[in-house]
Chain A
Amino acid sequence: MSLKKCLEIIARYYPSFLLGIRTTLLVSLSGTLIGLLIGLLVGGIRAIRLDKTASRFARILKLFSDILARIYIEIFRGTPMMVQAVFIYYFIYTNVIRWDKMVAAVFVISINTGAYMAEIVRSGIQAVDPGQNEAARSLGMSSMQTMMSVVLPQAIRNAFPAIGNELIVNIKDSSVLLIISITELMFQSNSIAGTTYRFTETYFVTAMIYLIMTSISSIVLNMIEKRINNTKTSLPQSDTSFSSITIARKGVQHVSH
């Protein structure tokens, strides 16, 4: 392998590589985000624990959605994404609608990620101290209010490293989507290698590009994580709060005298 050849390949084929990078990032970023939304919904439903006041209807609904969620998670974690991609793409294409490959790619990576995210979110929710839930309920907050304002923000904070990990996995694993011939980086690399017959050099460049993309993602994710964990003050102290402090102080002084 010669580095000179690598540089030649980059110089000659960089537009193809760039298109590949763009597609890979587009598919993996949107797939991770949509997957997170699916995970919040499915994981959230899985983590709900009904109390004694729940109606019979709620209980049946919960049981039913639990079973559906389990089936979804088992299927998409238990089969390779490459197989999911070809099967879903061709199944929908021949039976339902002649859909765009890019849409299919984002769809597949989203529901695949959603299955993993559901488990990440569920364990994140379950790792939140039950005392937080009890405190919120003891103040009269409903279970939905408690989930949205208290439990979920903490669960996401706890699970953030695992959520970020999914993005990095998706940047790499979107390479299997070449099976439905979208122009992601691996697909582009195959075409370049096929034209130049320089397999070693081409795939070395490809590997380096993946490594750069995942490294940058790691750095960005770490920065976001630091910010999330560093919530010293969420409310800026406005003028009104200063004046109200003095009012409150005066008020109490009057009472105490």
Chain B
Amino acid sequence: MSLIEVKNVRKTFDGMTVLSDISFEVKQGEVVCLIGPSGSGKSTMLRCINLLEDIDEGSINVCGEEIGSIRDINAYRRKVGMVFQQFNLFSNMNVIDNCILAQVKVLKRSKEEARQTALQYLQQVGMIDFANASVSTLSGGQKQRVAIARALCMNPQILLFDEPTSALDPEMVGEVLSVIRDLADEDMTMIIVTHEMAFARDVADKVIFMDDGVVLEEGDPSQIFNHPKNERTKQFLSRILYENSAVQ
């Protein structure tokens, strides 16, 4: 059974269509990568799944529930973790308090229990030595790893990544991707918006190519990357791969 079912979703901003007739499914334990040029609606799609945006038409079902009709949005959001491009760590707290806050406030865990959970996930992302560090002293890659730990502390069923490495210096991309790769190995269900094609090819069970608010192609990574059917996909991939090889 599909954990997430997106059906014929349409979304407009001030009359401008940013998503039109988007449909796809994500199964339990699956890793889905959304790729495509900037402005194609990938991030908006992700934000719709977390109800940070609402859709105009269509439906999004998560765990068999139509999320548009959910009354307790906060209860829903704790099941769906989100990691942002700009990390969005709480800048008025240190690393471990970032991980503790929502556990205490939302899951009503005791401070001690929340601390243990936080330490466990900080350990998992390799940030335990920074537990008491101020957020402002961390590098981008470290911040993003803490943000992932913070999301994991809520024991979400699904994790959404909105371009998790786009704001990072090139040498920090690897550390964040390896954390996400470990999560994939643990069968965490994830939707990842990314421009890292090598990573998508490596980690994804399914790749969805979007352009201009439309899903142009979806399939397993080897098919999309090696034998893209759609002309636009071919163009996009060849340009990206060319740029990557030009850098190296």
Q: Which A residues are within 8 Å of any B CB, using their own CB?
A: 52-53, 129, 131-132, 134-142, 145, 149-150, 153-154, 157, 231-235, 237, 240-241, 244-245, 248-249, 251-252
Contact = CB atoms under 8 A, between A and B. Distances in A.
B132 A154 contact: no
B92 A131 contact: no
Given A138-B81, A140-B75, A248 B88 contact: no
A248 B123 contact: yes
A240 B128 CA distance: 14
B166 interface: no
B77 A137 contact: yes
A231 B102 contact: no
Nearest to B132: A233
Contacts of B124: 252
A140 B154 contact: yes
Given A149-B101, A241-B119, A248-B120, A137 B52 contact: yes
A233 B94 contact: yes
A129 B54 CA distance: 21
A143 to B, nearest CB: 9
Contact of A248 (B106, B128, B147): B128
B106 A140 contact: yes
A9 to B, nearest CB: 49
Contact of B88 (A131, A154, A233): A131
Interface in B108-123: 112, 115-116, 119-120, 123
14 contacts: A53-B71, A129-B88, A132-B91, A135-B88, A140-B74, A150-B101, A232-B133, A233-B134, A241-B115, A241-B131, A245-B131, A248-B120, A249-B123, A252-B124
Q: Which 3 A/B pairs are nearest by Cβ-Cβ distance? A: A140-B78, A135-B88, A139-B102
A140 B119 contact: no
B84 A131 contact: yes
B82 interface: yes
B54 A139 contact: no
Classify the interface of chain A: helix, strand, loop or mixed. helix
Given A237-B132, A244-B116, A248-B120, A135 B84 contact: yes
A141 B105 contact: yes
B37 to A, nearest CB: 23
Contacts of A139: 77-78, 81, 101-102, 106, 150-151, 154
Interface in B53-82: 54, 71, 73-78, 80-82
Contacts of B93: 234
Contacts of B116: 244, 248
Please tell me the size bucket of the interface on B: 35 or more
B217 interface: no
Contact of B74 (A141, A235, A240, A245): A141
B4 interface: no
Contacts of A131: 84, 86, 88
Contacts of A137: 52, 74, 77
Nearest to B50: A138
B120 A251 contact: yes
Nearest to A133: B88
A238 B233 CA distance: 54
B242 interface: no
Contact of A138 (B52, B96, B97, B137): B52
B78 A154 contact: no
Given A52-B54, A135-B147, A252-B123, 16 more contacts: A138-B52, A139-B78, A140-B74, A140-B76, A140-B106, A145-B105, A149-B105, A154-B92, A233-B94, A235-B96, A235-B97, A240-B112, A240-B115, A241-B131, A248-B116, A249-B123
Contact of A140 (B54, B102, B115, B128): B102
B91 A141 contact: no
Contacts of A134: 52, 84, 88
Contact of B92 (A140, A142, A157, A251): A157
Interface in B12-26: none
B24 to A, nearest CB: 21
Contacts of A241: 115, 119, 131
B192 interface: no
Contact of B128 (A157, A232, A245): A245
A251 B116 CA distance: 12
B35 interface: no
A249 B123 CA distance: 7
Contacts of A232: 94, 133-134, 137
Interface in B132-149: 132-134, 137, 147
